[in-house]
Structure 1
């Protein structure tokens, strides 16, 4: 018998396996990940997470997370909150919890529970706008704007542990268009490692509505790194101001930037529930 947990953050569902006590490496094969995430043949989820022992004693655990197509994600804001909740529930009530990911170490702060829903704040790290350097984007002079069905799209590219293309819309677009455009952009030749896409409707400088196309998953209810990427892109191009509420189909996330006395800033903070 294989023990697992299924959790979600804003409707972003994950199956979690604890490898601190048992080896589940056989489940990390692409075909097994796909089967587990298949709602008809398996359990059904947006991704599968593995909680492992950390490489450094300074951290509490390591997260490996796989998308529903079997590809591995560098970082996942919703998934890491679920992993933090698992660790806090089954091990020490450590705060903050430091979790290793392929995108770097992230600190997660417990914010309390209310009516069975627990809230966590995540330090999302410093964003990078140089995706060419990491090989996730071809030269910018060839990368934007992109033409699709006669329309031009000029994404803001940002990496917050994984790569994102953020598109600020002039007017809302239909769901079917988002699906078609998202699939096209994910695998566009300008994105050699594929990419996550956020379609942003600006409500105000402190509030946006976002539809997410996740690399390896397709349309999802929410994306923590995607919300952070929208925040970073909006602050950079002057469309948004700190703090920002990001509305997604699965719920909302609050993103803020802490300003220090030196004038520099701390990593982004992502706050929402893991249920």
Structure 2
């Protein structure tokens, strides 16, 4: 089986965009399909774009096949894809697993509103927690190398007592941040990818919010990740992220197994998806 997709990245965060208007996959098991395609094309996740009740929709599956409720850089890539192919306006909305999001394009730059800051709490002097569509722990510290961030991130990501304390036993994303002269630097260990990624949009938003509390940094805040920079704004309790998106080319996934949709879905810790209530 061949599945056509577009490879894109937002601030170094890479995705395959599968257009279900052109390639219907309703009867396919997206869990196993996403794992196979992500590994085959070495990407952080798979974005499935479609229209639901006339509204643009985006579903995001991580590299390990887990369906997440949100992905900030993924949403920015989906926004640009919809604008370039289906939507005549620069400002519109997209339905995600975390609800309806307001988005805006300006050529290669895409801004998305992630919604209100939720569940913020300070755990201790160094650890903070913020939900920005997915759960994020933010670790306050100093410049950290990749190997150390990977090892500490892996440990915290599945720390049972921490995850249960913040109300997310499925696991948390972990961001290590430190203050620079004109920005904050971030290293993010992402759930589903199970590694340090080049960038994380929801993690950058969570980190900027914590930085505004801890360092008293004024918005807009520039965040610096391995893959590039994002600008984070905060207006009336709503966080938005803005940055560049890029097309990397057309690809074809060659899937030897059909991965038909099972009667009972594969088990992952259940998330609450916005479209389940429609």
What TM-score, normalized to structure 1? 0.80
Match for residue 148 of structure 1?
Answer: none
Taking a change above 3 Å as real, the CA distance of residues 25 and 219 of structure 1, as seen in their structure-2 partners, is: farther
Conservation of the 8 A alpha-carbon contact between 1:164 and 1:196: yes
Taking a change above 3 Å as real, the CA distance of residues 271 and 223 of structure 1, as seen in their structure-2 partners, is: same
Residue 198 of structure 1 aligns to a residue whose secondary structure is strand
The match for 1:269 among 240, 250, 256 is 240
Give 1:123 shift.
1.2
Higher-strand-fraction structure: 2
Alignment of structure 1 residues 179-218 onto 2, 5 Å: 179-189=150-160, 190-191=162-163, 192-204=169-181, 207-217=183-193, 218=195
Taking a change above 3 Å as real, the CA distance of residues 84 and 188 of structure 1, as seen in their structure-2 partners, is: same
Alignment of structure 1 residues 51-200 onto 2, 5 Å: 51-55=49-53, 57=54, 60-112=55-107, 118-129=108-119, 144-145=123-124, 154-169=126-141, 171-189=142-160, 190-191=162-163, 192-200=169-177
Conservation of the 8 A alpha-carbon contact between 1:17 and 1:24: no
Give 1:8 shift.
0.6
What TM-score, normalized to structure 2? 0.80
Taking a change above 3 Å as real, the CA distance of residues 88 and 187 of structure 1, as seen in their structure-2 partners, is: same
Conservation of the 8 A alpha-carbon contact between 2:35 and 2:65: yes
Equivalent residues, number: 238
Aligned mates of 2:100, 2:219 — CA distance in 1: 24
Give 1:31 shift.
2.7
Give 1:28 shift.
4.2
Q: Which structure 2 residue ranges, 5 or more long, are not aligned?
A: 164-168, 247-278
Conservation of the 8 A alpha-carbon contact between 1:47 and 1:65: yes
Deviation string 1:198-238 (CA, Å, 9 cap, x unpaired) is 1001114x510110111111211001111100112222345
Give 1:195 shift.
0.8
Deviation string 1:160-193 (CA, Å, 9 cap, x unpaired) is 1111001110x32332111111111111103111
Deviation string 1:81-125 (CA, Å, 9 cap, x unpaired) is 11111111111322312011111111111112xxxxx11111121
Residue 178 of structure 1 aligns to a residue whose secondary structure is helix
Residue 2 of structure 1 aligns to a residue whose secondary structure is strand
Match for residue 231 of structure 1?
Answer: 208
- Stretch moving more, 244-253 or 27-36: 27-36
Match for residue 13 of structure 1?
Answer: 14
Conservation of the 8 A alpha-carbon contact between 1:168 and 1:202: no
Give 1:27 shift.
5.1
Q: Which structure 1 residue ranges, 5 or more long, are not aligned?
A: 113-117, 132-139, 146-152, 259-264
Residue 156 of structure 1 aligns to a residue whose secondary structure is strand
Match for residue 250 of structure 1?
Answer: 227
